[in-house]
Amino acid sequence: MNVRIISTQPFLDQKPGTSGLRKKVAVFRQPHYLENFVQSIFDSIAAPQGATLALGGDGRYYNRTAIQIILKMAAANGFGRVLVGKGGILSTPAASCVIRKYQTFGGIILSASHNPGGPDGDFGIKFNSGNGGPATETVTEAIFARSKAIGEYRILDAPDVALDEIGETMLGAMRVQVIDAVSDYAGLMESLFDFAAIRNLLAGGFQMKFDAMHAVTGPYAQEIFTNRLGAPAGSVANAVPLEDFGGGHPDPNLTYAHDLVEALYGADAPDFGAASDGDGDRNMILGRRFFVTPSDSLAVIAANATLVPGYRKGVAGIARSMPTSAAADRVAQALNIPCFETPTGWKFFGNLMDAGKVTLCGEESFGTGSDHVREKDGLWAVLFWLNILAARKQSVESIVREHWAKYGRNVYSRHDYEGLPTEAAQGVIQHLKGCFTDLAGVRLGQYTVKFCDDFSYTDPVDGSVSKGQGIRIIFTDGSRIVFRLSGTGTEGATLRVYLEAYEADTSRHHLDAQVALADLIRIALQVSELELRAGRDKPTVIT
């Protein structure tokens, strides 16, 4: 087996976003495109000779092909061992689990998360560091810089490796170990949660429905819910991972997880519903005819953490992304623990967790997690809710409404405008920046503007500064409107508008969020001139 050194030229569009490099499959299939980026990773991370790497992905189209390329490149670049999920399947939180359990130098995760799959869909790749979390901005910037200067890559001339049976294969001088990552992850979950209590809950007539959306969590959900917790047959839907996710959009929200939503709002609705996304790091929680916003989910989990065995010692702190509602802040204040507001992107939580400053983290984009790994974790969130339900013996709705009665309700919604012309979306942001001075102190409807800014974050651990993280309009009563361009799309631009109003009056807690936020929605459209500048009269998705 010979190492080939292939001459290449840079691609100038390989700048990672909030979670790695994401492009259309057709882009990754260009000659040298994937190889250039992988070599740029290897050139930037300074892995010692003989280091161990974790590797796997969410099973989407091109996953297996990419794994074979990366294995041969890892062998040619001096790695001594690669741990690969069976069948090339490895959820993002499970990858973090594997990196941490086996103390690998890091890992490469192949996923475009909640984006559609298939030959015409999206593909993605990112490097996670030895703590199990996404690479820091320093590392991703180094990878990007290298990708703009690369002139060659190294690859082993060798046959493909069998991925469907657990075992070990030699690829040149490198060992390839196909592992049962499902068992590793399920074991971690069993160490955190009261599986006996959840098992009793499910055996007592409690009905749940989990939608794996034909994505990566199917095998994990079957092992945990069906095999270990005894959930009845049919509790896990769409459990077989498919390269195109069955033609669906694996994003667990009220729009794309429509089958689950219909079931939970139907005549014979189960007690509990949940879904996860393409790579298993996001979650949606539903009660019978009741939706739990991700912001409220984080707050409820924090308020009830000591009911769960793995968190009985309490919570050191909470972190949330800036666009996420302040519901968790109120819990942190009551518990007398810190709450950190960070930019969007799980990598910002890693330093806080490694430093022991926070235990729980969450993002409004359906991501929740803790310091058990260094990624958000969809199934972990589902199990946390099941553990709370088993301990409190109440419905999802009653738990949330009691939470609102105690802490007040942060009424919250996100409006996504997807597939906008990039120039139009950026024009909205530039227009808003130009309004900062004029808006300060102005009364808009029932609200008075306290200040406007472009959110900047100074990491309390390493002192790094991240600027330009989202436009904020903060009102004197604590209500907010946030505008932010998403970093997870592959086509056009996605402009997200976040709306939040605090409501202490329990007599108004029953209001639909869109009704309660009607004035803020109107103000957001008026101030941004979004309809005029982007040509859209309504959002693509409302959550």
Last residue of a domain, one of 384, 407, 430: 407
* Same domain as 203, residue 256: yes
The answer to whether the pTM exceeds 0.85 is yes
Of the residues 91, 113, 147, 295, only one is catalytic, namely 113
CA dist 430 to 424, 451, 529, Å? Answer: 10, 17, 11
- Domain range enclosing 465: 409-542
Under the banding of pLDDT at 50, 70 and 90, the label for residue 490 is low
Q: What is the CATH number of the domain that holds 483?
A: 3.30.310.50
Is residue 491 over pLDDT 70? no
* 3 state DSSP class of 273: strand
Q: Is 113 designated active site?
A: yes
* Same domain as 241, residue 295: yes
- In SS3 terms, 371-420 reads as CCCCCCCHHHHHHHHHHHHHHHCCCHHHHHHHHHHHHCEEEEEEEEEEEE
* Same domain as 242, residue 163: no
What pLDDT digit, counting tens, does each position of 358-414 carry? Answer: 999 999 989 999 999 999 999 999 999 999 999 999 999 999 999 999 999 999 999
Average pLDDT over residues 434-440: 90
Q: Which residues contact 370 (CB under 8 A, 6 or more apart)?
A: 311, 359, 360, 361, 377, 380
**pLDDT at position 486:** 81
**pLDDT at position 441:** 93
Q: What is the CATH number of the domain that holds 11?
A: 3.40.120.10
What is the C-alpha to C-alpha distance for residues 508 and 404, in angstroms, rounded to an integer?
A: 11
Last residue of a domain, one of 373, 407, 441: 407
Under the banding of pLDDT at 50, 70 and 90, the label for residue 347 is confident
Counting the structural domains of the chain, the total is: 3
* Same domain as 403, residue 428: no
What is the C-alpha to C-alpha distance for residues 440 and 367, in angstroms, rounded to an integer?
A: 32
* Same domain as 365, residue 241: yes
**pLDDT at position 489:** 53
**pLDDT at position 401:** 97
* Same domain as 221, residue 345: yes
* Same domain as 413, residue 401: no
Is residue 483 over pLDDT 90? yes
Angle CA(133)–CA(137)–CA(140) in degrees, nearest 5?
85
* Same domain as 304, residue 161: no
Last residue of a domain, one of 122, 151, 179: 179
**pLDDT at position 488:** 54
Is residue 500 over pLDDT 80? yes
Is residue 1 over pLDDT 80? no
* Same domain as 142, residue 190: no
* Residue position matching structure tokens 């970093």: 487
Tokens at residue 441, please? 């102190």
